[in-house]
Structure 1
Amino acid sequence: MKRGKGMKFVGDSRVPDKESRDKIPKDYSEYPGRTEAFWPNFLLKEWLVGAVFLIGFLCLVAGAPSPLEQKADPNNASYIPLPDWYFLFLYELLKYKFAASEYVVIGTVVIPGLAFGALFLAPFLDRGPERRPSRRPIATSLMLLGVASVIWLTYESVAGVDWEERAAYSVENVPDVEIDEEAPGYQVYSQNCLSCHGDSLQGNPGMAPGLVGIPYGADQIKDIAVNGIGQMPANQFQGTDEELNQLADFIVSINEQASGEGEGDGGSEEE
């Protein structure tokens, strides 16, 4: 009996039919100029762009470091802290009528949520294979709207700040005085002067001057504490004569340390 005699050939299931072959994606090489290999071509380009941006950003930070301001102080009602530069657009948004006050939830949750939600959904709303921005109108429009809004709000926030006045809040302009908070004079100071002049005698711009570097002796300080001076009204000090002497001696000792004339509760450079 010959091999295969009496048998019929039906087919080989291992050979895919034409319909199955059409579902296999073509190799990227069949699309010259429109795509490329992920490794190493695409990944190398992405790495180079990221490296150039990072080096440029590091040079900018080293050449023009961000200015630092004082710590937010709940006892200083005149100090209005500013957020970091990358949050200035949200800070400016809260100045608008329907994004602040009783509508603050709209400015802090609703509007940012819609904006970032739209950017998150952009790839799902526009699933076209095109890479040209002009042929992806939804994604391009959302991105341009987002970038333009952030740039405009940031510009408006920066333009509305009096930077010369805020320079007084800089940590570079604050005397580096180490305060002995256990000293009797500081205890009197905290009860009578701290709310206006700050916890380190640094003062509050537009509200009260600093007390480091002032040209007053102990008697003059006592007279000012009782009778006031300039915009400072009288009778601000509430305490005994002994406490008044402790307060004056404390402020004088701090100024002596600031000018390097003696030793006391702390030291700093004159403002």
Structure 2
Amino acid sequence: MHKGKGMKFVGDSRISAERISNVPKDYSEYPGRTEAFWPNFLLKEWLAGSVFLAGFLCLTLAHPSPLEGMADPTDAGYIPLPDWYFLFLYELLKYDFASGPYILFGIIIIPGLAFGGLLLAPFLDKGPGRRPHQRPVAVGMMLLALTSTIWLTYESAAGVDWEQRAEANKPVHPSEQADIDKDSDGYAIFENNCMSCHGEDLQGGAAGPPLTGIDHSAEEIKDIAQNGIGSMPPDQFSGSDEELDQLAEFIMSVNEDE
């Protein structure tokens, strides 16, 4: 600027001289690619949700969930199971590579990698297309996660007799409980050998049937305790022959009192 020559303004080249409207364009300018949120898109979402809800209600009515009794903190033989939406993680912990000395893989590393991969899927596959074949990484990871979850959940649920479990853990009315002498020597032997599977009051648990209401002789009870029966493996009793006789007499006396 020189005196008497006026003043000149130098603009910033990074700022466009053209004014751009901040109002978004109308969806009608993109025919076939967008639609109105109301009522088109919202109606589709409502119809999809209604079909899913109707199917879920029909499944619930056809196969009601077997409910167990109230939790008994004194039952050392009870084996809890997670809710159905965590059964796939419960099943994962049964495999050798995710249990025992590798338990950290089952509870932290493998689930962490799986959920972390799903979180990173949108960043790993940045394709502009919305069709499955245009998003191979994201679609592949989602299909793998969905297939694994469904398979592990099915395997876990198929290995449990839910009706028998509910029957074994249903509440027992005090009038239906057997009269058990918990101060006897026989009960002490039962506590050391059988309680973890058959329950504190011989009412059974998730790992073993009830020992009340049975029709076995003392010899048969001793044979089962030593050699097992059905899903019960052998060599579950550890004690002397005298203690085995006391155990059989104790179980017999409980069934005679009923």
Shorter-chain-normalised TM-score: which range?
Answer: 0.5 to 0.7
Following superposition, the deviation at residue 179 of structure 1 comes to 4.1
Partner Cα distance (1:141, 1:93) in 2: 21
Is the Cα contact below 8 Å between 2:198 and 2:207 reproduced in 1? no
Counterpart AA for 1:231: I
The residue type equivalent to 1:60 in the other structure is L
Show the counterpart of 1:201: 202
* Equivalent pair of 2:180/2:201 in contact (CA under 8 Å): no
**2:165 aligns with one of 162, 170, 174:** 170
* % same residue: 50
Which of these residues, 237, 252, 256, is aligned with residue 256 of structure 2? 252
Q: Deviations over 1:196-223 (max 9, x none)?
A: 531242236876x53322347xxx7xxx
Superposed CA deviations along residues 22-72 of structure 1, whole A, max 9, x for unmatched, are: 776432211112111223321221122112211211210121023346769
How far does residue 142 in structure 1 lie from its aligned partner after superposition?
Answer: 1.4
**Amino acid of the structure 2 residue aligned with 1:229:** K
What root-mean-square deviation, in Å, do the aligned CA atoms of Structure 1 and Structure 2 show? 4.2
Q: State the one-letter code of the partner of 2:198.
A: H
Q: Which amino acid aligns with 1:232?
A: A
Within a 5 Å distance, the mapping from 1:1-271 to structure 2 comes to: 19-21=18-20, 25-68=24-67, 75-76=76-77, 82-157=81-156, 161=159, 166=161, 169-172=164-167, 177-179=172-174, 185-188=181-184, 191-194=188-191, 195=195, 197-203=198-204, 210-215=210-215, 224=218, 229-232=222-225, 234=241, 235-236=243-244, 251-253=255-257, 255=258
Separation (CA, whole Å) in 2 of partners of 1:114 and 1:249: 56
Q: Is the 8 A contact 2:222 2:244 kept in 1?
A: no
**Once the two structures are superposed, what CA deviation does each residue of 1:60-113 show, in whole Å capped at 9, x if it has no partner?**
01210233467698633xx76554443332233223332211211111111111
Greater CA drift, 125-134 or 184-193: 184-193
Which residue does 2:3 correspond to in 1?
none
SS in 2 for 1:232: helix
Does 1 or 2 have the higher relative contact order (CA < 8 Å, sep 6+)? Answer: 2
Structure 1 gaps of 5+ residues are 1-16, 256-271
Write the distance in 2 (CA, Å) between the matches of 1:191 and 1:47: 62
**Residues 92, 215 of structure 1: CA spacing in aligned structure 2 closer, same or farther, 3 A cutoff?**
closer
What is the one-letter code of the residue matched to 2:190? Answer: C
Paired residue type of 1:170 = R
Q: Helix, strand or coil for the counterpart of 1:202?
A: coil
Preserved CA contact (<8 Å) 1:179 1:200: no
Contact preservation (8 Å) 2:114, 2:145:
yes
What is the identity, as a one-letter code, of the residue corresponding to 1:211?
Answer: L
> In 2, distance between residues paired with 1:35 and 1:59?
34
Change (3 A) 1:206 1:88: closer
Instruction: Give TM-score, length-normalised by structure 1.
Output: 0.62
**How many pairs does the alignment contain?**
221
Deviations 1:166-195 (A, max 9, x none): 4684223568643489x7724547544351
Residue identity matched to 1:149? S
